[in-house]
Amino acid sequence: MSVGSAQMNVCVVGYGMMGVWHSEALAEEERYFLVGRRPEATAEFAARYGYRRWSVDLEEALADPAVDAVIVASPSELHAAMALRCLAHGKPALVEIPIAMSYAASERVVAEAEGRGLTLGVVHPMRFRKERAPLRERLANGDEHIRHIHGRFFIHRLKNVGATGYQRSWIDNLLWHHTTHLLDLGLWMLAVEGAPTRSVSHFMPAPDPATGIPMEVVLLVETEADQSLLCSGSYYSRERLYDTMIVTDRDSYRLNILEGTLTTGAGTMPIDSEQDNCTLCTRDFVAALEQGREPAVSGRSVLPTMRLLQDVQDRWDAVHGRRPLPGRPLDE
């Protein structure tokens, strides 16, 4: 059934935590095709969520004319290649963050979608937080001004185990995954007031000998309006922290994602869970296809974030040597 009709047939690639969240966000009749890595696990997940078809071969799903759209929730280093394959088959795609693990690959995915006239969305859930909408409106009206933004992501990840406790087949990347969330939020908020970037500085150490990846990131962006954006994180931390703080000339807004709270000068209030907020991303993509509009987070809209990440990566490469890293091959 074609896009825009009464029923949307969606293919989901991946059965990890994000595969679970996207599957639960889709209506039962929208869960059409599941693509996974291992046959037994894929079959079990497909049965649990009521997918009508499943395969361990993405090409099999893309060759099915009944598939209207694809949600790519595979390991990060596969996002760009899988998105390009979906688009080449004429399938609109919603790609989990990050859209790619280089700026060049990000541009290729966006160009492919735009060249084919296909919808391309990216899962940047921090943009969907409804608690930020009133602040963005005040910023746009000139009633409030950002002074500082700080995003933090700290977890203990010396072993390759994901948030669900599942032993992963892939390696995460602090810069191109978790920092991407924080940096994109900051740039998206600062863009409302439009001050150009004045400088970017960073710290990212050499790869840890046990994990093979850089385990810490500190990234500082300054604007011509003397605003600052600081993103920091570590995979060494024994304490889990995942929060964002926006300080303006009127108030401060600390959103604690793990605790599900927003704290301002007026006190602390509960907010939607991370999964509930992610549901908005999934539903917006489906609605965008049905309504013939751009999704709330288009592929092109994330390119400024990807460009800055590439600048940081290039600086790291100049110091430590350009090399493939676990979870980030050079030939993306």
Rg (CA), the chain: 20
* Residue 4 in this model has a pLDDT that exceeds 90: no
Q: What is the mean pLDDT of residues 124-153?
A: 98
* Residue 216 in this model has a pLDDT that exceeds 90: yes
Q: How many helices (H) and strands (E) does the chain have?
A: 9, 14
Q: What is the mean pLDDT of residues 42-50?
A: 98
* Residue 1 in this model has a pLDDT that exceeds 60: no
Q: What is the mean pLDDT of residues 256-265?
A: 97
* Cα dihedral value 118, 124, 126, 128, nearest 10: 20
**Other residues' Cβ atoms within 10 Å of the Cβ of residue 80:** 23
Helices 103-116, 303-320: inter-axial angle, 10-degree rounding: 150
Q: Which strand (E) or helix (H) includes residue 115?
A: helix 103-116
Mean model confidence pLDDT for the chain: 95
| CA 280 vs CA 26, 70, 298: distances in Å | 10, 16, 14
Q: What are phi and psi of 65, to 5 degrees?
A: -65, -15
Q: Which strand (E) or helix (H) includes residue 289?
A: helix 274-291
* Residue 258 in this model has a pLDDT that exceeds 90: yes
Helices 274-291, 17-25: inter-axial angle, 10-degree rounding: 50
DSSP 76: G
How much is the pLDDT for 7? 86
Q: What is the mean pLDDT of residues 34-50?
A: 97
Where does residue 119 rank: exposed (0-12), middle (13-18), buried (19+ CB within 10 A)? Answer: buried
Q: What is the mean pLDDT of residues 139-143?
A: 98
Nearest residue to 185 (alpha-carbon basis) of 131, 235, 224, 238: 131
How much is the pLDDT for 2? 41
